[in-house]
Amino acid sequence: MCTKIMRKVFFVVVLLLTFSPVNAIVHLPKLVSNGMVLQRDINVKIWGWADPKEKVTVKFLGATYSSLADDKGNWSVQLPHLKAGGPFSMIIQGTNTIQLSNILIGDVWLCAGQSNMEHTMGSFNWIYPDVIANSTNPNIREFHVPETYNFMVPQKDFKSGSWEEANPKNVYNWSAVAYFFGKYLYAKYKIPIGLINSSLGGSPAEAWISADALKNPFPAYFAEAQKFKNNTLIREIEQKDFQQSKAWYTLLQQKDEGYKGISWYSPSLNTAKWDTMTIPGYWAHTALGMVNGSVWFRKTVDIPASMAGKPAKIILGRMVDADSVFINGEFVGTTGYQYPRRRYAIPAHLLKAGTNVIVIRIISNVGEGGFVPDKQYAIVEGDTAVNLEGAWQYHLGAAMPPLMGQTFIRWKPVGLFNAMIAPLLPYRIKGAVWYQGESNTDRPVEYRKLLSTLIYDWRAKWDEGNFPFLIVQLPNFMAPKKEPSNSNWAMLRESQLKTLSVPNTALVVTIDIGEWNDIHPVDKMDVGKRLSLAAEKIAYGDHVSYSGPIYKSMKIEDDKVVLSFTDTGTGLMVKEGTEPGCFAIAGQDHRFVWAKAKIEGDKVVVWNEAIQHPIAVRYAWADDPVGAKLFNKEGLPASPFRTDDW
């Protein structure tokens, strides 16, 4: 009897487990959530997952839309052309009910690329404090795509993510370029703006392209992507990289004389035997030579009584690679790699009137270590600043062999497309903004095909036609050269320029707002403003000057070269001085020398009195084209170019 009852109970339990709606709860992708911005004037897709064959309804703006989940539980509905506005609510019903609120309808822009797109407003908070403080605007929103990779298959959703409204707290962590872009667009059109930030520092273009798009034109990248479908291999490489780095830093810590006996950050340390060098600068140019490991620096400074006992900041430009900073024996800050600007808070109790001891321990992994020139080095409190440049004592803590570089699997081909682009594809967008290229400057000619492949790939996958694609050209960077020379950065800018042959694209030139000593220039506001101008023309059809002069053709007249341009606006001009500058000219020997240039009407005439038969001209053809002052009267710089193809 008991056996029969147990069998019946078991049978009922099996039926319940088989037919109860364990997986029937409707759930949504992270993008389809509270606060989302839906693209106006296009059929918008709302999608998600449910139990196979489950009926799902979506109620929005007084209309009801129905869908039946397929055999795998996928469902979607199409909302017809929506008009800008909001906030609105949406109800999604299956076995369960989901209510979404605070939904806007406007324009959604994908903002993608590497670190110059990724850098946040908070990264430049001392440059834009008032902008951040006054950023509250519920009609501008950002969705930050989590940084991850996947080589197996294109992903359907993100592990995290939510829509955020613009306000001082949120905007602090938003992409600075994306925020300014959205801010300017909203100021002009008063239409809700959604910004999807999908960016990752250091990433090359091939990481953002799908496997099928890479397969034929770039078989080597495709093969590399297949290789990393092996999770065991990924774990082995990551473990090896981790152990290698851990062993290096452990040995450095053990060897560092600065932590043996009296710590070298102690104010009472006897430094009579330390050498002296001028800061900023690199210790490779001192008696130490090209050594990696740790070097300690020390300076005694006088602090005025007006700064004593007050909270302050120590600003230390940039240091290569990592640093730890101590004031009067107390730790105040550290940074683990070379690119961030050093701005550390000094507690109110720490500074005293008179003598104060600043100690910095710098770790150099590879190459030259030290203090990046042409940056601010000071202790600042209010309007008072104590300059820290000049003579510093220094001493080697420990010499180490160069640390071998990491594999950076997250940058390998296809991985970012699968994880950071693929889940976006069902979401309708107005267009894309692309700020990337630094990591491809070692392959500048290849980039022409890579970038156009990426654009065609994304457009095909989104299936929205030739949506606007706005490209930020690389800014000026690295030390200027005294003579005309070849430049990978100039070549990559040319590749970005040539991408304008792809329909419905625009280029934003930034060679006037970079920094020679910083790959991450602070002027993100002008980048965003110029991008908004490009969008006004390309995406919104407004009659605005959105581009600076673009080289069109050349004509040789006697011993001079006459250049013609498009996008001259209301006329050409020299931004500063009397000559456009940064022109080079070559004769029959193909050797470029600096040239004179002048504007004549809508043309630029270029010459060098020593060259009687010129055959080619280059403009701003350098890593950092100092003196490039050719603009149109709308204040937009000319793109670098060359008339030759040598």
So what's the pLDDT on residue 202? 97
| pLDDT greater than 90 at residue 7 | no
Contacts of 616 (CB under 8 A, 6+ apart): 561, 585, 586, 590, 592, 642, 643, 644, 646
Confidence band, pLDDT 50/70/90 cuts, at residue 407: very high
So what's the pLDDT on residue 17? 39
So what's the pLDDT on residue 178? 98
Tell which residue, 334, 291, 339, has the closest CA to residue 318.
Answer: 339
> CA-to-CA distance for 330 and 353, rounded, in angstroms?
16
State the architecture of 264-400 in CATH terms: Sandwich (2.60)
| pLDDT greater than 90 at residue 397 | yes
So what's the pLDDT on residue 8? 43
| pLDDT greater than 70 at residue 380 | yes
Q: Is 434 strand, coil or helix?
A: strand
Contacts of 630 (CB under 8 A, 6+ apart): 548, 549, 572, 574, 575, 580, 581, 597, 599, 604, 619, 620, 637, 638
Confidence band, pLDDT 50/70/90 cuts, at residue 348: very high
Confidence band, pLDDT 50/70/90 cuts, at residue 6: very low
Tokens of 102: 């605070």
The predicted-structure confidence for 171-180, as pLDDT tens digits, reads as follows 999 999 999 9
Q: Is 224 strand, coil or helix?
A: helix
Q: What is the mean pLDDT of residues 370-396?
A: 97
- Angle CA 512–129–324, to nearest 5: 85
The predicted-structure confidence for 434-457, as pLDDT tens digits, reads as follows 999 999 999 999 999 999 999 999
Confidence band, pLDDT 50/70/90 cuts, at residue 22: very low
* Domain ranges, ordered by start, for the chain: 264-400, 550-642
Please list the residues that pair with 346 across neighbouring strands: 312
Tell which residue, 261, 262, 266, has the closest CA to residue 357.
Answer: 266
Tell which residue, 532, 510, 531, has the closest CA to residue 522.
Answer: 510
Confidence band, pLDDT 50/70/90 cuts, at residue 24: low
Task: Find the range with the poorest average confidence among 7-16, 63-72, 106-115, 565-574.
Answer: 7-16
So what's the pLDDT on residue 438? 98
| pLDDT greater than 70 at residue 168 | yes
So what's the pLDDT on residue 13? 38
> CA-to-CA distance for 532 and 568, rounded, in angstroms?
19
| pLDDT greater than 80 at residue 2 | no
Confidence band, pLDDT 50/70/90 cuts, at residue 558: very high
Query: Could you count the other beta carbons within 10 Å of the beta carbon of residue 357?
Result: 18
Confidence band, pLDDT 50/70/90 cuts, at residue 9: very low
| pLDDT greater than 90 at residue 642 | yes
Cβ–Cβ < 8 Å for 234, 148:
no
Q: What is the mean pLDDT of residues 192-215?
A: 98
Tokens of 372: 């990046």
Tokens of 136: 């509250």
Q: What is the mean pLDDT of residues 489-505?
A: 98
- Angle CA 590–594–599, to nearest 5: 110
Tell which residue, 529, 564, 523, has the closest CA to residue 545.
Answer: 529
The alpha carbon torsion through 519, 521, 525, 529 (nearest 10 deg) reads -50
| pLDDT greater than 60 at residue 1 | no
Q: Is 214 exposed, middle or buried (0-12, 13-18, 19+ CB in 10 A)?
A: buried
Query: Could you count the other beta carbons within 10 Å of the beta carbon of residue 4?
Result: 8
Question: Based on C-alpha coordinates, what's the Rg of the chain?
Answer: 29
| pLDDT greater than 70 at residue 193 | yes
pTM, 2 dp: 0.94
Q: What is the mean pLDDT of residues 265-281?
A: 97
> CA-to-CA distance for 492 and 490, rounded, in angstroms?
5
| pLDDT greater than 70 at residue 552 | yes
DSSP 242-298: HHHHHHHHHHHHHH-GGGSSS-TT-TT---TT-EEEEESEEGGGSTT-S-EEEEEEE
Query: Could you count the other beta carbons within 10 Å of the beta carbon of residue 19?
Result: 8
